[in-house]
Amino acid sequence: MKAEQKATLLQYLNDFLADPQTGNEGELEKFSSFDEKRIASLPALKTLISDFQSGKINLQNFKEEHEYKCREFPYWGFKGFSGQMQINQFANNIEEENKETIFRKAVQLPVTEIEAKEKIDDLAKYIAEKRSNCENPQSLPRPASVKYVLSYFWEIQDYTKWNVFYNSNVKVLDAIGLDTDTQGTEGQNYLAYLALMRELEALYQQYVKNPIKYPYWFVEHVLWKQFLNSSTRTGASLEKQRAGSGEAKATKSVVMLQVANEWLPPVIADLSDLAQNRETAWSQRNKTKPEKAFETKVRIAFTLLGYEATELGQGKGREPDGFAISHNVSDGDYAIVYDAKARERYFDVGTGDREMYEYIKRKSDELKRRRVSRSYFLVVSSEFDPNPTNLNLVKDVFRRTRIPVIMLRAVDLLFLIEEKLKDTELTHERLEQLFLETGMLTREKIVDILGIR
């Protein structure tokens, strides 16, 4: 670990200690109380695993019972696509008699790290072979999700030795040059991740006053907070350090390592700046005001997500800025009508609810004539006024139109693009789940709904 990386990780610790809460399902609470909820849920989860391993229940029963349990105890982010859905696909869509024996063996707690690596690699290889001989590979689990699924079950059985492989942790660490997911096989990647989590545990223990009760989980909380608060823009300087608790001895000024985001195309890289109504090289080169350039870049963003995007906006009368149609779903096309609001600070609905209502009514009627069966209305901006009045106005628009109204930060739209480009199985069916509920579509909600934690 380099000095710059260590300084940045200590900055993350300071940020966490300044407000030691963790976010889960849209709620914030003290990390210590969250950890105790995890501890309290372990006996029920361990009993279920034990019943499966002993043969008391079969794979189908285990899959069904665990789906209830991970919703009853939603403390590991497991109920989404990368977790429970993988078990469902394994149990429902793999047609082989010995699949239950294979999964039961994989879930059994490994004794050594070498055994853990072998379990992950063996199950990943088995799934890859099944996918290669399947007409619809997307109906089967993903090899890349194996290390998350198995490490989750291992942590349930022994949280002192094993830690869940969270992609959110990997993203934060990768952003400062601590590469943990390109070590070779999926099993090797997990061991590299586990070693780094132990290193971070030892580092953080040096800079807090009291012993850390649940070391892996503490590190996880620090990185999770950073993941939720970070933008997809990298290489930016931290202008000032937040007021810390005094428990961490990080340097006063920390500069993030210069790491380019290799997944985001350059054409969309200035979206966050334009969302804040700032000039960029692209807007100056094209002699376009930032607000108009932002509208164009939002249209490009939806194109990159695979939608048929049409820009309307300025000069088109009382119209939204555009709409994006998905033709790639089995139960009929759907459309996202969007408005791009470039704001230096944040977007305040104010009297804009009447404008939203008119946009939705006019455009949704037009889309119905085009045989688009479902519509959603999306506002994209730099930030949104947190005043509850704004959410109430948005809810009232939904009440009158029955069209969900969603608010999304530009940085989180970039996050979606990054995830879509990384994951070819992030389909429009899965993306549609993001637009079903009126309100703020936060980074945490995106991660939870898509199951990409």
What's the domain range around 164? 3-229
Flag whether 294 is in a domain. yes
Angle between helices 388-401 and 352-369 (to 10 degrees): 30
Residue with tokens 């391993």: 53
pLDDT tens digits in sequence order for the chain, 453 residues long: 889 999 999 999 999 999 999 988 778 899 999 999 999 999 999 999 999 999 999 999 999 999 999 999 999 989 888 888 899 999 999 988 899 999 999 999 999 999 999 999 999 999 999 999 888 888 898 998 999 999 999 999 999 999 999 988 998 998 888 877 666 899 999 999 999 999 999 999 999 988 899 999 999 999 999 988 875 443 333 233 333 334 444 333 333 333 346 678 889 999 999 999 999 999 999 999 999 999 999 999 999 999 999 998 654 557 888 999 998 787 788 999 999 999 998 999 887 888 899 889 888 888 888 888 899 999 999 999 988 898 899 999 999 999 999 999 999 999 999 889 888 888 898 899 999 999 999 888 888 888 777
- The per-residue pLDDT for 235 is 33
pLDDT of residue 313: 64
- CA distance readout (Å), 160 to 163, 194, 213, 231, 453: 8, 12, 10, 32, 21
Task: Output DSSP code: residue 65.
Answer: H
pLDDT tens-place string over residues 140-174: 989 989 999 999 999 999 999 999 999 889 989 98
Enclosing H/E stretch for 192 = helix 186-205
pLDDT at 36: 96
Asked if 319 and 408 sit in the same domain, the reply is yes
* Nearest of 389, 386, 412, 401 to residue 356 by alpha carbon: 401
Q: What pLDDT is stored for residue 251 in this prediction?
A: 36
Domain-embedded: residue 240: no
pLDDT value for 258: 34
Q: Is residue 251 part of a domain?
A: no
Q: What is the pLDDT of residue 82?
A: 83
Asked if residue 284 and residue 199 are part of one domain, the reply reads no
Q: What is the pLDDT of residue 284?
A: 93
| Same structural domain, 138 and 30 | yes
pLDDT at site 261: 62
Q: Are residues 219 and 318 in the same domain?
A: no
Total domains in the chain come to 2
**Domain contains 250:** no
Are 368 and 442 within one domain?
A: yes
Structural domain includes residue 244: no
Alpha carbon distance 14, 320 (integer Å): 42
pLDDT of residue 233: 41
- Domain ends where: 171, 203, 229? 229
Residue whose C-alpha is closest to residue 407's, from 445, 361, 438: 438
- The answer to whether 157 and 44 have CB atoms below 8 angstroms apart is no
147: Cβ–Cβ under 8 A, 6 or more apart, which residues?
120, 124, 165, 186, 187, 189, 190, 193
Q: Are residues 163 and 276 in the same domain?
A: no
Report the DSSP pairing between strands 322-326 and 334-341.
Answer: antiparallel
User: Are 12 and 98 contained in the same domain?
Assistant: yes
Beta strands in 135-264 (DSSP E): none
Contacts of 451 (CB under 8 A, 6+ apart): 77, 79, 80, 81, 82, 83, 84, 85
Whichever domain contains 391, its CATH number is 3.40.91.30
Q: Do 158 and 16 share a structural domain?
A: yes
Query: Is 83 part of a structural domain of the chain?
Result: yes
384 assigned to some structural domain: yes
Domain boundary, last residue among 177, 203, 229 = 229
**Which tokens sit at 426?**
């992030």
Residue 187 in domain: yes
Task: Judge if 114 and 13 occupy the same domain.
Answer: yes
pLDDT of 250 reads 38
Verify that 276 and 127 share a domain, yes or no: no
Same domain membership, residue 318 and residue 223: no
Same domain, 150 and 294: no
Q: Which of 229, 248, 280 is the last residue of a domain?
A: 229
